[in-house]
């Protein structure tokens, strides 16, 4: 049970790091909106987790 929670936390952290890296790399407005949507999905996932 604790292992599943730990794996979920690792997954969330990696997704946040990836989104932050993509946001840093690309400065396009279209991509920023995509990153924003991705971040909102992550926050929804954390809310359910």
pLDDT single digits (tens) 2-17: 888 888 888 888 888 8
Which tokens go with 20?
A: 């932050």
CA distance 32 to 49: 25
pLDDT band at 36 (very low <50, low <70, confident <90, very high): confident
Whose structure tokens read 């400065």? 27
User: What pTM was estimated for this model as a whole?
Assistant: 0.43
Whole-number pLDDT of residue 1: 64
Instruction: Give the residue extent of every domain in the chain.
Output: 2-48
Whose structure tokens read 């396009």? 28
Q: Which string of b and e fits 15-28 if b means at least 16 CB within 10 Å?
A: beeebeeebeeeee
At CA 34, angle to CA 48 and CA 43, rounded to 5? 15
Could you tell me how many residues make up the chain?
49
């Amino acid at each position: 049970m604790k292992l599943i929670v730990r794996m979920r936390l690792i997954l969330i952290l990696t997704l946040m790091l990836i989104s932050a890296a993509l946001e840093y790399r690309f400065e396009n407005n279209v991509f920023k909106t995509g990153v924003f949507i991705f971040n909102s999905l992550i926050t929804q996932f954390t809310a359910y987790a």
